[in-house]
Amino acid sequence: GNAYDFHGTQLASQDRLLGELDAAMSAFFAATNQLAVANNVVTFIFSEFGRTIRINGDGSDHGWSNHYLVMGGSVLGGRFYGTYPPVQVGLPELDFPLFSVTGNFRGAFIPTFSMDQYGATLARWCGLSDASALDVFPNLANFNLRNIGFLP
């Protein structure tokens, strides 16, 4: 359902739900280690929408950008990839109406990397050649960096 869609009750729900996500991911990773396949499995968790900077009263609204979680024995983990954007409203490049018919300015996070860059990094690890990457991810041509580097 919409349990992670925090339009409301964000503070009351987020801690518990992230704890559940942590337990589920930890159990899955432990199972891949127990089966000796951890280096052959990558879990990539993303959402199709990010959140806005300013709250809507009891939660946050849909926005741009997001955090992505990547887990696996081959993942070059323990790092953050990308640059955390400024967390303030009132910046001209961030403060514009998002999904709002009322024109409320809630601020947006601007992502460092595109989904094409994440996808190309994952697909390269799975064996996609660099020559085929532009066929699979045509928007990749808009970016100099085609491998974010979280996988070897």
> What number is the average pLDDT over the span 116-134?
95
Q: How many other CB atoms are there within 10 angstroms of residue 16's CB atom?
A: 10
Instruction: Region of 57 please: left (phi>0), alpha (psi -120 to 50) or beta.
Output: left
Question: What tokens does 27 get?
Answer: 């159990």
Given this model, what pLDDT does residue 9 score? 75
Angle, vertex CA 40, rays to CA 78 and CA 137, nearest 5:
80
> What pLDDT sits at residue 89?
62
Mean pLDDT of the 109-134 span: 92
The 10s digit of each residue's pLDDT in 47-74 is: 766 677 777 777 777 777 777 899 999 9
Residue 129 and residue 139: Cα distance in Å, rounded?
Answer: 16
Return d(Cα 108, Cα 62) in angstroms, integer. Answer: 9
For 28, the enclosing helix (H) or strand (E) is helix 10-34
CA distances to 22, 51, 63 from 111, rounded to whole Å, are 24, 12, 11
Chain-centre distance for alpha carbon 96: 21
Q: What are 139-150's pLDDT values in tens digits? A: 999 999 999 999
